[in-house]
Structure 1
Amino acid sequence: MNNDELELTQFAENLRQEVIMAAEAGGDHDEGNSFREDAFTQLIIGYLTEAGELEDGHVCHYVARGMKINGYSLHEDDECLNLFTSIYTQQIPPATVRKDEVTSALKRLIKFVEQAFKGLYQSLEEASCAFDMANLVFSLKGKLNRIRLFVFTDGLTTKQVWQETVQGDITFSSHIWDIRRLYQCVTSGQRREAIEIDFQERYGATIPCLVSPATQADYEACLAIVPGDILYKLYDEYGSRLLERNVRSFLQAKGKVNKGIRSTLSEQPQRFLAYNNGISATAEAIRFVDLPGGKAITWIRDLQIVNGGQTTASIFQAARKDKADLAEVHVQAKITIVDREQLDEIVPLISRYANSQNKVSDADFSANDPFHIQVEERSRTIWAPAVDGSQKQTRWFYERARGQYLDAKNRLTPAKQKDFAVLHPTAQKFTKTDLAKYEHTWNQLPHLVSRGAQKNFNDFTVRLKQRGSFVVDETYFKHLIAKAILFKKAEKLVQAQAFGGYRANIVTYTLAYLSHRTAQTIDLNVLWKDQDVPKALQGAITLVAIAVHQVITQPPGSGNVTEWCKKEACWEAVKKLEVRLPDALAPLLLGTRDAGKLGNRGIDEPDIAEQQLIHEIASLAAETWFEIAHWAKETGNLLPWQRSLTVSLGKLASQEKLPSRKQALRGMEILEEIERLGFKVSA
Structure 2
Amino acid sequence: MEVSELYKYRQDVLDNSKDEDGFIEEQSVLSQVLPYLLDAKVVDTEECYETYGLSDEDNWKINAYIVNDSTERLQLFVVDGDSIDESLEEEQLNVSIKADYEKQLKQGLRFFQKAVKGDFTNKLQDSSPVKALAHKISSETGIVQFDVIEIFLISLSATVSNQGNETKPRKVHFKDGNYKIKFEIDGDTRTKDFLIVNRVIDLNFIANVIISRGHREPLTVNFKRDFERRIEVIQAANEKNFESYLCVLDAAVIAELYKRHSSRLLEKNVRSFLQFKGVNKGIKNTIRTQPEQFIAFNNGLTITASSANVATYKKVLCLESLTDFQIVNGGQTTASIYFSQKEGLDISKVKVMAKITIAKDIDEKEMDSLISNISRYSNTQSRVSNVDLNSRSPQLRKIKSLSESIVTPSGCKWFFERAKGEFNTMVRKAGSNGARKKKEFPNSKRFSKEQLAKYYLAWGEQPHVIKKGGEKVFRHLMEAIEPKDEGADIIDIDRVFYENLIAKIILFRGMEKIYGQGKNAIGQLRSAVIPYSLSILYITTDAKFEQNFKLDLGRVWRSEYLENDLSEFLTMLMMLVNELIKKYSASDDYGEYSKKEELWLAIKHCREIKEFLKNEFTIRIIKKYTI
Are 2:466 and 2:531, in contact at CA under 8 Å, matched by a contact in 1? yes
- Paired residues in the alignment total 566
Map Cα deviations across residues 583-625 of structure 1 (whole Å, 9 max, x no partner). Answer: 36644321xxxxxxxxxxxxxxxxxxxxxxxxxxxxxxxxxxx
Q: What displacement does 1:37 show?
A: 0.2
Partner in structure 2 of residue 8 of structure 1: 6
Q: Distance in 2 between matches of 1:125 and 1:105?
A: 24
Map Cα deviations across residues 330-373 of structure 1 (whole Å, 9 max, x no partner). Answer: 42214252631223444334323322124446653352133333
Are 1:290 and 1:296, in contact at CA under 8 Å, matched by a contact in 2? yes
The amino acid that maps onto 1:432 is K
Are 1:399 and 1:431, in contact at CA under 8 Å, matched by a contact in 2? yes
Matched, 1:130 2:152: no
Map Cα deviations across residues 387-444 of structure 1 (whole Å, 9 max, x no partner). Answer: 2xxxxx443222333222223333x142132333233333222122212211222113
Partner in structure 2 of residue 588 of structure 1: 625
Partner in structure 2 of residue 445 of structure 1: 462
The amino acid that maps onto 2:114 is Q
Are 1:225 and 1:333, in contact at CA under 8 Å, matched by a contact in 2? yes
Q: 1:512 to 1:170 in 2, by over 3 A?
A: same
Partner in structure 1 of residue 509 of structure 2: 488
Partner in structure 1 of residue 377 of structure 2: 353
Look up the SS of the partner of 1:553 in the other structure: helix
Q: 1:62-81 to 2 correspondence within 5 Å?
A: 62-64=53-55, 65-81=58-74
Are 2:147 and 2:259, in contact at CA under 8 Å, matched by a contact in 1? no
Partner in structure 2 of residue 189 of structure 1: 213
Matched, 1:174 2:174: no
Q: 1:362 to 1:431 in 2, by over 3 A?
A: same
Q: Distance in 1 between matches of 2:389 and 2:101?
A: 38
Partner in structure 1 of residue 600 of structure 2: 571
Partner in structure 2 of residue 58 of structure 1: 49
Map Cα deviations across residues 261-313 of structure 1 (whole Å, 9 max, x no partner). Answer: 5237xx443x4433322112222333544689996544432121111112222
The amino acid that maps onto 2:54 is V
Q: What displacement does 1:462 show?
A: 4.3
The TM-score with structure 1 as length reference comes to: 0.75
Map Cα deviations across residues 119-162 of structure 1 (whole Å, 9 max, x no partner). Answer: 43334444554222122212212443221111111112467211
The amino acid that maps onto 1:164 is D
Are 1:244 and 1:304, in contact at CA under 8 Å, matched by a contact in 2? yes
| Correspondence for 2:257 among 224, 234, 243 | 234
Partner in structure 2 of residue 610 of structure 1: none
Q: Distance in 1 between matches of 2:122 and 2:478?
A: 40
Matched, 1:116 2:115: yes
Q: What displacement does 1:488 show?
A: 0.9
Q: Distance in 2 between matches of 1:61 and 1:172?
A: 21
Q: 1:186 to 1:298 in 2, by over 3 A?
A: same
Q: What displacement does 1:240 show?
A: 0.8
Partner in structure 1 of residue 158 of structure 2: 156
| Percent identical | 23
Are 1:59 and 1:72, in contact at CA under 8 Å, matched by a contact in 2? yes
Look up the SS of the partner of 2:235 in the other structure: strand
Q: What displacement does 1:452 show?
A: 3.2
Q: 1:417 to 1:211 in 2, by over 3 A?
A: farther
Are 2:177 and 2:195, in contact at CA under 8 Å, matched by a contact in 1? yes
Q: What displacement does 1:491 show?
A: 0.7
Are 1:79 and 1:146, in contact at CA under 8 Å, matched by a contact in 2? yes
Find the structure with the greater CA-based Rg: 1
Q: Distance in 2 between matches of 1:208 and 1:440?
A: 48
For CA contacts below 8 A with separation 6 or more, give which structure has more relative contact order. Answer: 2
Which stretch shows the higher mean deviation, 276-285 or 227-236?
227-236
Q: 1:558 to 1:469 in 2, by over 3 A?
A: closer
Gap runs ≥5 in structure 2 = 161-170, 181-192, 544-549
| Correspondence for 2:417 among 399, 414, 436 | 399
| Correspondence for 1:45 among 30, 34, 37 | 34
Q: What displacement does 1:554 show?
A: 2.1
Q: 1:431 to 1:346 in 2, by over 3 A?
A: farther
Partner in structure 2 of residue 82 of structure 1: 75
Partner in structure 2 of residue 165 of structure 1: 177
Q: Distance in 2 between matches of 1:279 and 1:313?
A: 12
Partner in structure 1 of residue 184 of structure 2: none
Q: Distance in 2 between matches of 1:157 and 1:280?
A: 36
Q: What displacement does 1:532 show?
A: 2.2
Q: What displacement does 1:376 show?
A: 2.8
Partner in structure 1 of residue 433 of structure 2: 416
Q: 1:330 to 1:566 in 2, by over 3 A?
A: closer
Q: Distance in 2 between matches of 1:284 and 1:171?
A: 28
Q: What displacement does 1:180 show?
A: 0.9
Q: 1:552 to 1:53 in 2, by over 3 A?
A: same
Q: Distance in 1 between matches of 2:321 and 2:425?
A: 32
Q: What displacement does 1:231 show?
A: 3.3
Partner in structure 2 of residue 554 of structure 1: 583
Partner in structure 2 of residue 100 of structure 1: 99
Q: Distance in 2 between matches of 1:498 and 1:349?
A: 49
Q: What displacement does 1:252 show?
A: 5.9
Are 1:282 and 1:336, in contact at CA under 8 Å, matched by a contact in 2? yes
Q: 1:113-512 to 2 correspondence within 5 Å?
A: 113-117=112-116, 118-126=118-126, 129-139=129-139, 140-157=142-159, 160-168=172-180, 169-202=193-226, 203-214=228-239, 219-228=241-250, 229-245=252-268, 247-249=272-274, 251=276, 254-263=279-288, 267-269=290-292, 271-289=293-311, 296-322=318-344, 324=346, 326=348, 329-335=351-357, 337=359, 339-360=363-384, 363-379=387-403, 381-385=404-408, 387=410, 393-410=411-428, 412-464=429-481, 465=483, 468-495=489-516, 498-512=521-535
The amino acid that maps onto 1:562 is G
Q: Distance in 2 between matches of 1:173 and 1:468?
A: 47
CA root-mean-square deviation: 3.0
Q: Distance in 2 between matches of 1:320 and 1:572?
A: 31
Q: Distance in 2 between matches of 1:160 and 1:179?
A: 12
Are 2:71 and 2:146, in contact at CA under 8 Å, matched by a contact in 1? yes
Map Cα deviations across residues 534-579 of structure 1 (whole Å, 9 max, x no partner). Answer: 3332222122222222212323567332134223343344444124
Q: What displacement does 1:325 show?
A: 5.1
Are 2:586 and 2:593, in contact at CA under 8 Å, matched by a contact in 1? no
Are 1:58 and 1:71, in contact at CA under 8 Å, matched by a contact in 2? yes
